[in-house]
Structure 1
Amino acid sequence: MTESTLMVLPDVQSSTDRRNIPIQKVGVKGIRTPILVKSQSGAQHTVAHVEMYVALPADKKGTHMSRFWTLLGSVEKPFAPVMLKEVISQMLESLKADEGYIRLCFPFFMEKKAPVSELESTMDYDVELVAETLNGQTTVFQKVTAPVTSLCPCSKEISKYGAHNQRSHVSISAEVQTNFPIEKQIEMIESSASCQVWGLLKRSDEKFVTEHAYENPKFVEDLVRDVAIRCQDEPSILSFTVEAENFESIHNHSAFASIAFNKDNE
């Protein structure tokens, strides 16, 4: 096929659509690709699930799907909130769109030392980076989910010995304008729980974890409130949603709580 032949191929996506119905999101999802993520110790390699969309005007037939992949493949810097704002700006320019949405979900890894033996093991945390441009404004959210231990205050109070505890998943979805360390969000969650969790523990560590949790009982309501206080005290966080789910050890259901807060409404 000659270059002159390529020049005359019809661009169907850019043709006019007479149904006059705008589309709020059109693009690609289900992409799984290796990426770099910004961390306090440098760039971290991980694998992300990616969604990328733009808004399509009512008179346009379609968008150029290949341009999403082209843009994603050209990214060489580690992903972080500020960098994601740059990427969505480039996406809107490339697709000639006014509104758009990008979401990346990926595991983030940290080396942790056990509390007594100081044995090192790797912990993984679920992270989402989301950028959305609407009405000329771009917002970026960084969501971190961390596993922790919660011990029931009621069980401790009414029992002669012991108290039931469970593993909990606590998340902070924070609207930020600057690069806010993922590690900092993890610390905000873990320090608010009855106790942290680790990948590897010796007997001395297990004794510490058991006793520390017993001395720091937390309802699911306590978890979200304590984390929310930490978020309110962080000037880099503009708004946030804190969620906690306790995978109950004495019930066949979970306990759940959520707090949403916008500092502009104070």
Structure 2
Amino acid sequence: MTDTSVHPDADPASLADIVARQPSAHFAALDQVGMRHIEMPLKLKLDGETCLLPAQVSAFVDLRDPTARGIHMSRLYRLSDEYLGRGALDVAGVRALLDAMLASHTGLSGRARLSIEFTLPLRRDSLRSGLSGWRQYPVRIDATLEDGRWRCEIGADVLYSSTCPGSAAMARQVVRQQFLEKFGSGQVDATAVADWLESPSGIAATPHAQRSRARVQVALADDVDELPLVTLIDLIEATLATPVQGAVKRVDEQEFACLNGENPMYCEDAARRVRDALDAQPWIADYAIDAAHFESLHPHDAVAQVVKGVAGGFGRSA
């Protein structure tokens, strides 16, 4: 509410927070207070260059003083603007912002949380043609600081293709039966078989495949200084082997079909593959994996989730 009795040319420093002094019958401590999805640019180093990317920032502190009406929202905004406007963001920059958020609420708060969401554009090479195209990856940075305890997480969504192993096996059964009906059990001519395999009759059934998504969040080890978002994306794509493609020619599409044939997987398989890859990385202290296959057979999704199980770490979600 605007105090219309204040002249517009009045000294801003003299404007008292009238509402904060008003009594309330409902004062109590609060777990988290702040702002979600602040529109703000972010500086990030990519391929040796500092890039400016649009982001959404969420900044929160707790409210431990049960007699306080509220927190200083504008301070969180100004600090986010100041610290994210400096050089390329790294772990030290995230920690410095959280320290400043708590310092700005001395006596009120003991916990600060920061979440940054944005889309990371990466140019990716095609599989065989020599082309390259753009992919955009939703990524997240989440960090908390409470009573001196610090945790920094990064996350990414990676799209990939998943061919159903069960459907592939049933398709092979159909092709086998068609082969026996066509050529019988006696000796056959190799050229005739090859021609049949290349014909529509030779692929009488195809396994179903679908676009899928691996949503991965990892907690960084204490000695990590950078924010290895690209490293995480590369690791997930290499592990699953069938990431979706940008620019493609027919030779790329054929290679993609081969990769899908070599890597049939249920959502359970995908989650376990990513888990094994993350377990082998010393820079990852904790993880949460959500592998979702957007079924082409069903109107619902198939989902597998796994967390590392570190004490005080990620919990299991629905």
TM-score, length-scaled by structure 2: 0.77
Give, as a single letter, the amino acid of the residue that structure 2 aligns with 1:165: A
Give me the whole-angstrom Cα distance separating, in 1, the residues matched to 2:293 and 2:157: 13
Give, as a single letter, the amino acid of the residue that structure 2 aligns with 1:67: R
The Cα offsets for residues 89-110 of structure 1, whole Å up to 9 and x where unpaired, read as 1111122231111111100011
**Alpha-carbon shift at residue 5 of structure 1 (Å):** 5.7
1:156 corresponds to 2:203: no
Structure ID, larger Rg? 2
Query: Gaps spanning 5+ residues in structure 1: where?
Result: none
Query: Gaps spanning 5+ residues in structure 2: where?
Result: 1-6, 176-204, 313-318
Give me the whole-angstrom Cα distance separating, in 2, the residues matched to 1:235 and 1:18: 51
Change (3 A) 1:227 1:40: farther
Give me the whole-angstrom Cα distance separating, in 1, the residues matched to 2:117 and 2:11: 41
Give the fraction of aligned pairs with identical amino acids, expressed as a percent. 23
Q: How does 1:213-232 map to 2 (within 5 A)?
A: 213-232=260-279
Give me the whole-angstrom Cα distance separating, in 2, the residues matched to 1:99 and 1:37: 26
Give, as a single letter, the amino acid of the residue that structure 2 aligns with 1:198: Q
Task: Name the residue aligned to 2:150.
Answer: 138
Change (3 A) 1:230 1:40: farther
Give me the whole-angstrom Cα distance separating, in 1, the residues matched to 2:256 and 2:8: 70
1:29 corresponds to 2:36: yes
Between 5-14 and 226-235, report the one with greater CA deviation. 5-14
**Alpha-carbon shift at residue 27 of structure 1 (Å):** 1.4
**Alpha-carbon shift at residue 51 of structure 1 (Å):** 0.9
Q: How does 1:97-246 map to 2 (within 5 A)?
A: 97-159=109-171, 160=175, 161-176=205-220, 177=222, 178=224, 179-246=226-293
C-alpha contact 1:238 1:264 (8 A) present in aligned 2:
no
Task: Name the residue aligned to 1:74.
Answer: 82
C-alpha contact 1:101 1:133 (8 A) present in aligned 2:
yes
1:59 corresponds to 2:106: no
**Alpha-carbon shift at residue 7 of structure 1 (Å):** 5.0
Change (3 A) 1:201 1:7: closer
Between 21-30 and 100-109, report the one with greater CA deviation. 21-30
**Alpha-carbon shift at residue 190 of structure 1 (Å):** 0.9
Give, as a single letter, the amino acid of the residue that structure 1 aligns with 2:218: A
Matched positions, count:
265
Task: Name the residue aligned to 2:179.
Answer: none
C-alpha contact 1:13 1:60 (8 A) present in aligned 2:
no
Give me the whole-angstrom Cα distance separating, in 1, the residues matched to 2:127 and 2:13: 66
Give me the whole-angstrom Cα distance separating, in 2, the residues matched to 1:182 and 1:6: 42
Secondary structure, counterpart of 2:207 in structure 1: coil
Give me the whole-angstrom Cα distance separating, in 2, the residues matched to 1:23 and 1:257: 34
Give me the whole-angstrom Cα distance separating, in 2, the residues matched to 1:11 and 1:196: 54
Task: Name the residue aligned to 1:9.
Answer: 15
**Alpha-carbon shift at residue 55 of structure 1 (Å):** 1.0
Change (3 A) 1:5 1:121: closer
Give me the whole-angstrom Cα distance separating, in 2, the residues matched to 1:55 and 1:61: 12
TM-score, length-scaled by structure 1: 0.91
Give, as a single letter, the amino acid of the residue that structure 1 aligns with 2:67: D
Give me the whole-angstrom Cα distance separating, in 1, the residues matched to 2:105 and 2:256: 52
**Alpha-carbon shift at residue 20 of structure 1 (Å):** 4.0
Give, as a single letter, the amino acid of the residue that structure 2 aligns with 1:236: W
**Alpha-carbon shift at residue 8 of structure 1 (Å):** 4.5
Q: Per residue, is there more strand in 1 or in 2?
A: 1
C-alpha contact 1:18 1:59 (8 A) present in aligned 2:
no
1:43 corresponds to 2:57: no
